[in-house]
């Protein structure tokens, strides 16, 4: 399943973003919205694509010789459940956090890629265990590709200053401070408090 994510998301989508990056930037420039809103919407769109791939891999469990639910990389086999309760719903406030940082600091797109990748690595490690540290490159690509292209499309002439050295470690942690925005952006979370965190039995 992880190889499916690598092939479809990291290699496939990542290559498409990099190969036609200037085309995507020109298309984004034509959209008459504030650049910050375009950044958040762009990141959210890419996160939805990434989660479509992961949910597809979960539903492809029979191709790996097991039933759906015996092996999985998402909390549910239902795409809407995954994005509305478990993944993208958490990412959006983090994207807002990066919008705030990009208003203040002129991080390069590559820096945004690495830093948000480290944020994702930290989130996976805290949530699912330290064994994820061994897959640091995998998680950096999985998460970093959600933000690289939108960061590439951010106007370079915006009134922002070059980041100081301390802004880089801060940028890894700061997105977590925006998670309380979920209470405003995603009211269905507290309207359905008994929603299960995972819809499958533990993998043995």
Task: Kindly list the domain boundaries of the chain, sorted by start residue.
Answer: 2-186
Whether 119 shows a pLDDT value over 90: the answer reads: yes
Q: What are phi and psi of 161, to 5 degrees?
A: -110, 155
Query: Per-residue pLDDT averaged across 3-24, rounded?
Result: 95
Q: 118 with 147: CB under 8 angstroms?
A: no
Strands (E) located in 50-91: none
Whether 200 shows a pLDDT value over 70: the answer reads: no
Least confidently predicted of 32-41, 63-72, 115-124, 134-143: 63-72
pLDDT at 35: 97
Who has greater pLDDT, 79 or 69?
Answer: 79
Residue 55's contacts (CB-CB under 8 Å, 6 or more residues apart) are: 74, 76, 77, 78, 79, 82
pLDDT at 37: 97
pTM (two decimals) = 0.92
Query: Per-residue pLDDT averaged across 162-179, rounded?
Result: 97
Who has greater pLDDT, 78 or 141?
Answer: 141
Least confidently predicted of 33-37, 43-47, 104-108, 185-189: 185-189
């Amino acid at each position: 399943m992880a190889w499916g994510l690598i092939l479809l998301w990291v290699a496939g989508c990542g290559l498409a973003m990099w190969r036609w990056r200037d085309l995507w930037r020109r298309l984004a420039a034509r959209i008459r919205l504030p650049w910050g809103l375009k950044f958040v919407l762009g990141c959210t769109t890419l996160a939805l694509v990434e989660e479509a791939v992961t949910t597809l891999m979960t539903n492809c469990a029979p191709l790996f010789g097991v039933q759906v639910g015996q092996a999985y990389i998402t909390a549910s086999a239902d795409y809407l459940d995954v994005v509305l309760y478990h993944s993208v719903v958490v990412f959006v406030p983090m994207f807002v956090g990066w919008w705030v940082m990009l208003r203040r600091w002129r991080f390069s797109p590559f820096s945004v890629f690495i830093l948000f990748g480290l944020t994702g690595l930290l989130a996976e490690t805290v949530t699912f265990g330290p064994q994820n540290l061994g897959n640091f490159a995998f998680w950096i690509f999985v998460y970093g590709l959600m933000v690289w292209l939108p960061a590439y499309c951010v106007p370079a002439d915006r009134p922002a200053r070059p980041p100081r050295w301390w802004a880089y470690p801060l940028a890894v942690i700061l997105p977590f401070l925006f998670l309380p925005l979920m209470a405003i952006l995603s009211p269905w979370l507290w309207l359905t408090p008994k929603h299960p965190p995972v819809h499958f039995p533990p993998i043995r």
